[in-house]
Structure formats: C-alpha cells, structure tokens
Amino acid sequence: MSAPVIEMRAASLRKGRHLLLDHVDLCVSRREFVGIIGPNGAGKTSLLRVIAGFEKCAGEVRLFGRPQRGNRGTRVRVGYVPQSVEIDPAFPILAVEAVMIGLSGRLGLCRSPSKKDGERAMELLEIMRVAHLARRPFGHLSGGERQKVSIARAIIQRPEVLLLDEPTANLDIAVQKEVLNLVEEIHEREAPAVLFVTHDFNMLPGAMRRAVFLDGGRIVYDGPSSEALTGENLSRLFRYPLETFQRGGRRFISLG
Amino acid sequence: MVEQLLDSLAHLPMQRALLACLLCGLGCSLLSVFVVLMRMPLVGVAMSHSAFAGAVIGMLLGLHPTASGFVLCLLVAGVLGPVSDRTRLPPENTLSIFFSFMMGLAFLGIGMLSKTRAGVLDLMWGNLLSLSGRDVALLGWTTLVLILFLFLFFKEIRAVLFSRTLAASSGVPEKFIYYALLFLVGAVVSSNLSTVGGLLIFALLIQPGATALQLAYDLKLFFLISALAGVSACVLGLALSYILDLPSGASVVMMATLIFALSYIFSPKRRAAKSS
C-alpha cells in the first residue's frame, strides 16, 4: 500500500453545541476511490471541508504527510467540487474561464495563464463532453453542465486528492450516470485519490472499492464496498428497512 | 455655451474639478464591479458614512476633515472583512451595523458642532470647484494604486468574485484579495469625499457596475464599460452643473442614473433572458 495522502486521527469538529465530526480516524492512499456514505446530517460535507482546509478541527489532520493548515501549498493539490455552484445568470464569466479558475492558485500571483493552459482547459471540457459550451456564460448552463464544468475546474489543478460532494445531486438520472462515468474516466486518466460523497446507492461509481459509512459524525464502517452494501448494514445506517439485489453484476438498493 | 464651458477650463479650479471628476469616476466605477458582483451595495454607504463620521470628528477636534475621514474610513475598511469572517455574520449584516453605527457617530458629531455646519454639508454633497491640489493628488495616487492592483491580481480577483470558497480551494489567497478590495473601497471613498461628497459616492459605487451588468459577459469588458459609464457620468454631470448652475454632485448622480437607465432599456442580456 502506498503512502497515505490523507491521514485523520481523532478529528473532531464542533459548531456551537453540535458535534459534526466525532473522533474520526481515516487514512486514504494515492489513487484510492473512497465512497463516503451516510444519511443527511451525518457529517459527510463537514468531513470534506476539514480535508479541504476550510474548517479547523480538534485532533490531527495531515495531507501529503504534513499537517493541514489550509495554506496554498496544500490547497493547490486538493480539488474540491461542491454540490452546486449558485451564480447570477448575468455574472460575467464564460464556461472556459470558470475552468481556468482552477489554475489561479497553481500559477501563483501576478502570472497569467498561458496558451497551453487554455488548450488544457478546452481538452478537459472535451473530456467532460461540454467543449461546445466553452464560450457560453457559466450562469446560462444547466445544473448538469455546470457540474461537468466544475469537475473540469477541479481537475485542471492536477489534484492529488479530489473531493466530490454529492456531484450528482439534483441531476436527472441520465446526467447522473454520465457524470459518474466521467468521474471514473478522470480517476483512470489522472489517478487522484477520490473521496466521493453520496447517499444515492443506485448511482455508486464502479471504481469505488472502499466505502466509509458516517453516522452522527462517527465512522461506523470502513472497508470494502462489496461487503459494506448489504441490506442489513444500510438498514442500520439509515434506520429504515432496505434490501439489496444484484442485476447485471451490479448491486442495487430498494426499500424493504 | 460650449465656448463658455471651454473658456472656463483655462481656470485652475475648473481644471482641478475636471481632473478630480475623471479620477473619481474611474476609481468608483472600477470598484463598483466588485460591489455589484459581490452583491454588497451597502459597502458604499458604510464606507462613505465612516469617512463622513471621521471628517465630522476631525472638525470637532480641529483636524483636517479629509485626513480624519480618510483615516477612519481606512480603519473601518481594514476591520470590516475580518470582523465579518470571524463573527460569521453575513457581510450585509456586518455592513448594516457599521453603516448605522457610523451614521449615528456622524450625527452625534454634527449635533456637537456649533458654527461650522456649512462645512459638513460640503462633505455630504461635495464641492468640486473648491478642491485643493493636495485633494487631487490624493485622488490620483489612490486611483493609481487601485488600477495597479486590478492589473496585477486580475485572475485572483476574477476567482474571488466568482466564488470565495472555490477561489480558496484552488489556492488563491482569497482573504488577502477580498480584504484588499474592501480596503481599496475605503481608500477611494474617503479620498472622494470632497469631490462628489460622501452620500453621493454611494451612487457611483453601484450604478456604473449595474450598467456593465446589463451589457457584458466578459469581465475585462465589464471593467471597461463600468469605467466608461463612471467617467462619462462625472464629466457630463460636471458640464451640466456648470451650464445649468446646478449642484455638481447631484448632477453627476443624475447622469449616472440616466446612463444606467439607457443600458437597462437597450440591454441585450435582458432581452436574451426574456426570450429564453
């Protein structure tokens, strides 16, 4: 097993009286694809925000062998895709420029993107199948198109860790599948460690070999996804009777 | 009448007024891009009232009102961003609290001023024709620093305007950029106190940016349109005030409003949104 890119030991995050993360221990290696699963309010987004350096927590959080202090050197190595990017449709930014924002930190202050950087942005938009929308204002794109542009923005950073916070939320089923395939393609090509937050089990990426269940800010399961996704485990996690069944080599979930 | 106007430009006060107008229009309109896109319209009133309160306090203490206004405005501009972030209050709430506090402070000071209220009114409405060389030089330096900042950090500014969270996640020093922009608003507002006046600066920090929002999808073009709208409003407003013998600050704001109204009527973005 290669050196971990993320190490969390007894990480706890408190907001007022609410404990959002409770003594979380988590190690993620290079190239790993980890699914973070849990009900609403389980602490999934908080976990990503701590790893991204947006929140300071008690305990220890190390990225690439160094303490996470939210400094530039660490942030440029971590790509972050939120659930959605809300923006005024009249905001003056084109889709290709939104992708280039991902480069702003890596280039450093007072340096402009080169022609090569522009070509790389277009290449990523092509991979995400939205190159034809490159010159369209970002605010005019649909939810799915924005999400693809957001993933391209995170990827142009050449991140070693990619944090995806429910990237398929609010998308129709066809676009969800397309985004999932593209995430897997990016994982295959660029090989970052991926933390994929979701609560939709019927849309889990095939590349996800490891599952982490979060409940009430605690990790209640961390192991192979093939063993994790059983009706019994999921019923316990969501406190609702759930059943799993296999079809075409894939596991699906239904209400029990 | 035009000849009379051109003749007047031979006089130093009019030359200073024109130069100050150009610089005021340029500085405020460039910053209005930030104010409009970050949806912080109250930043203009909060800063202008800070400068106003500072000037009133300066008058009470026998200091130069522009200098004391400048200092208090910069102080507020310097603490506004960190206070908003640390308290986790929405920026609009923080701005409202600062705005009302500064307004209260200013009126408290005015109540204590016994004889020099006319000078206070100059600060509220501005007086372009009584500017000193030092006032114009201060405007020039502030505008120059602002333009340099925009040139040097354009890509970082674009990232912060798009999303502070995403800018931070890509490694942009978003706090530095955001706080610096707030600080520059403070510097531009306070240095313009004696041109269009504390209250009317609010209009110039909103209307040019709002005008550009009707017309441009490209951020560089957005800055350009905003600057053109701001400078035109100032120069045309000054000419109008000279020709019709009207208060100069109020004339500038009337012009800025007219330009915005025209951009709204002919906005291709609005028409595209209607048809979609």
Give chain A as a 3 state SS string.
Answer: CCCEEEEEEEEEEEECCEEEEEEEEEEEECCCEEEEECCCCCCHHHHHHHHHCCCCCEEEEEECCEECCCCHHHHCCEEEECCCCCCCCCCCCEHHHHHHHHHHHHHCCCCCCCHHHHHHHHHHHHHCCCHHHCCCEHHHCCHHHHHHHHHHHHHCCCCCEEEEECCCCCCCHHHHHHHHHHHHHHHHHHCCEEEEEECCHHHCCCCCCEEEEEECCEEEEEEEHHHHCCHHHHHHHHCCCEEEEEECCEEEEEEC
Is B155 an interface residue toward A (CB < 8 Å)?
yes
- Spatial CB neighbours of A15, under 8 Å, sequence gap ≥ 6: none
Are A94 and B169 a contacting pair at CB < 8 A?
Answer: no
For chain A, domains (ranges, CATH) are 1-77+163-256 (3.40.50.300), 85-158 (no CATH)
**Residues B174, B59: Cα–Cα separation, whole Å:** 37
Cα–Cα distances (Å) from A89 to A102, A142, B41, B276, in that order, read 20, 11, 19, 12
- Tally Cβ neighbours within 10 Å of residue A216: 14
Angle at B13 between CA B142 and CA B20, to 5 degrees: 20
B62 φ/ψ sector (left φ>0, alpha ψ -120 to 50, else beta):
left
DSSP helix, strand, coil percent of chain B (3-state; round to 5): 85, 0, 15
**Residues A244, A256: Cα–Cα separation, whole Å:** 9
**Residues B210, B35: Cα–Cα separation, whole Å:** 9
Are A85 and B163 a contacting pair at CB < 8 A?
Answer: yes
List phi, psi (to 5°) of A183: -60, -40
Distance from the first to the final alpha carbon of chain A: 38
Tokens at residue A58, please? 């008690």
- pLDDT category, A40, cuts 50, 70, 90? confident
Task: Sort A247 into a burial class: Cβ within 10 Å, 0-12 / 13-18 / 19+.
Answer: exposed
Are A137 and B217 a contacting pair at CB < 8 A?
Answer: yes
A204–chain B nearest CA distance, Å: 25
> Taking a C-beta distance cutoff of 8 angstroms, is the pair B87, B145 a contact?
no
Tokens at residue B218, please? 């490209």
What ipTM, to 2 d.p.? Answer: 0.85
> Taking a C-beta distance cutoff of 8 angstroms, is the pair A198, A176 a contact?
no
Residue carrying structure tokens 């849990």: A38
Task: Sort A59 into a burial class: Cβ within 10 Å, 0-12 / 13-18 / 19+.
Answer: middle
Are B170 and A113 a contacting pair at CB < 8 A?
Answer: no
Give the residue with greater pLDDT, B131 vs A127: A127
> Taking a C-beta distance cutoff of 8 angstroms, is the pair A24, A218 a contact?
yes
Interface test with B, best of A56, A101, A110 (most B CBs within 10 A): A101
Residue A1 has pLDDT above 70, yes or no: no
- pLDDT category, B196, cuts 50, 70, 90? low
Average pLDDT over every residue of B76-102? 86
Q: Which amino acid appears at position B74 of this protein?
A: L
Are B168 and A103 a contacting pair at CB < 8 A?
Answer: no
Provide, rounded to the nearest whole percent, the portion of chain B with pLDDT above 90: 37
Are B155 and A107 a contacting pair at CB < 8 A?
Answer: yes
Interface test with A, best of B217, B223, B276 (most A CBs within 10 A): B217
List phi, psi (to 5°) of B255: -65, -45
List the one residue out of B75, B195, B189 whose CA is nearest residue B135: B195
pLDDT tens digit string along B1-36?
667 767 777 778 778 888 888 898 899 999 999 999
**Residues B183, B168: Cα–Cα separation, whole Å:** 19
Nearest chain A alpha carbon to B37: A91
CB pairs under 8 A between A and B: 91
Chain A residue set in contact with B, beta carbons under 8 Å: 52-54, 70, 72-73, 75-76, 78-80, 82, 85, 87-94, 97-98, 100-107, 109-110, 112-113, 137, 153-154, 157
**Residues A166, A143: Cα–Cα separation, whole Å:** 13
**Residues A18, A16: Cα–Cα separation, whole Å:** 6
- pLDDT category, A27, cuts 50, 70, 90? very high
List the one residue out of A99, A79, A22, A113 whose CA is nearest residue A196: A79
Is B34 an interface residue toward A (CB < 8 Å)?
no
Instruction: Please give the pLDDT value at position A125.
Output: 93
Instruction: Please give the pLDDT value at position B276.
Output: 58
pTM of the model: 0.86
- Spatial CB neighbours of B13, under 8 Å, sequence gap ≥ 6: B129, B130, B131
- Spatial CB neighbours of A101, under 8 Å, sequence gap ≥ 6: A153, B158, B159, B162, B166, B167, B170
Instruction: Please give the pLDDT value at position A219.
Output: 93
Instruction: Please give the pLDDT value at position B107.
Output: 84
For chain B, domains (ranges, CATH) are 2-265 (1.10.3470.10)
Name A161's bridge partners: A78, A193
List phi, psi (to 5°) of B120: -65, -40
**Residues B96, B102: Cα–Cα separation, whole Å:** 10
Residue carrying structure tokens 């979380």: A24
A113 interaction partners in chain B (CB closer than 8 Å):
155
List the one residue out of A129, A142, A146 whose CA is nearest residue A181: A129
Instruction: Please give the pLDDT value at position B256.
Output: 93
Nearest chain B alpha carbon to A50: B169
Residue B159 has pLDDT above 60, yes or no: yes
B111–chain A nearest CA distance, Å: 43
pLDDT tens digit string along A147-189?
899 999 999 998 999 999 988 877 777 778 888 888 888 888 8
Angle at B152 between CA B148 and CA B153, to 5 degrees: 115
A123–chain B nearest CA distance, Å: 19
Question: Residue A123's Cα: distance from chain center in Å?
Answer: 21
SS3 B81: helix
Instruction: Please give the pLDDT value at position B66.
Output: 74
Provide, rounded to the nearest whole percent, the portion of chain A with pLDDT above 90: 46
Sheet holding A4-15, edge to edge: A18-29, A4-15, A58-63, A66-67
> Taking a C-beta distance cutoff of 8 angstroms, is the pair B61, B114 a contact?
no
SS3 B23: helix
Give the residue with greater pLDDT, B158 vs B44: B158
